[in-house]
Amino acid sequence: MTCHLYDEEREDFREHLDFILHRQNEEWHAIDTEGWVTKRKYNQQNFAEMQENFFLEREKSFAWLNGLLNPDWEKTYTTEYRTISAGEMLACWVAHDNLHIRQLAELRRHRIENITKPYNLGYAGDGNSNFRSYCSTGHI
């Protein structure tokens, strides 16, 4: 996942948001997130190095975002697949991070279930039913 986040940080969200805001005359480049896994040998990469690479790219993204002067979040870019606004791209960037945080939490839960067998973790709750009920009340 770290290699994926590193590549996405460099080649997708920041880059494509820049296309929308500043580079309307350039051609949107395609990404191949599934192909990158094998082409870039994700499973052979050093985790600590890739984590550091991702952190460095994220710092570049923060600096870039902080340097934007009055961005037009309604500005759109049309590709052959769709039209997307700058605001939508930024929101998707944040949601993409959250997607992977959720995946990591689910992997952690699965690991805990495996290492605590034969004990049942039902008493801990699954976090979904109560949370969904709380969200449906308009608190979030």
Percent pLDDT > 70 in the chain is: 90
Q: In b/e form, how buried is each residue of 48-63, taking b as 16+ CB within 10 angstroms?
A: eebeebbeebeeebee
Residue 7 above 70 pLDDT?
yes
Going by pLDDT thresholds of 50, 70 and 90, the confidence category of residue 29 is confident
Write the DSSP symbol of residue 29: P
Q: For the residues 5-33, what does the mean pLDDT come to? A: 89
Going by pLDDT thresholds of 50, 70 and 90, the confidence category of residue 137 is low
pLDDT recorded at residue 101: 86
Residue 25 above 80 pLDDT?
yes
pLDDT recorded at residue 24: 87
**How would you classify residue 119: left for phi > 0, otherwise alpha for psi between -120 and 50, otherwise beta?**
beta
Q: What is the pLDDT of residues 92-131, one digit of tens each?
A: 999 998 888 888 888 898 999 999 999 988 888 875 555 5
Distance separating alpha carbons of residues 18 and 75, to the nearest angstrom: 11
- Of 19-23, 58-62, 130-134, the one with minimum mean pLDDT is 130-134
Helices (H), the chain: 2-8, 14-22, 33-39, 47-66, 86-115, 128-136
pTM above 0.85, yes or no: no
Q: What is the pLDDT of residues 55-69, one digit of tens each?
A: 999 999 999 999 999
Query: Is there a contact between 122 and 116 (Cβ–Cβ < 8 Å)?
Result: no
pLDDT recorded at residue 5: 87
Interaxial angle between packed helices 14-22 and 47-66, expressed in degrees from 0 to 180 and rounded to the nearest 10: 20
CA dist 93 to 11, 89, 97, 99, 140, Å?
12, 6, 7, 10, 20
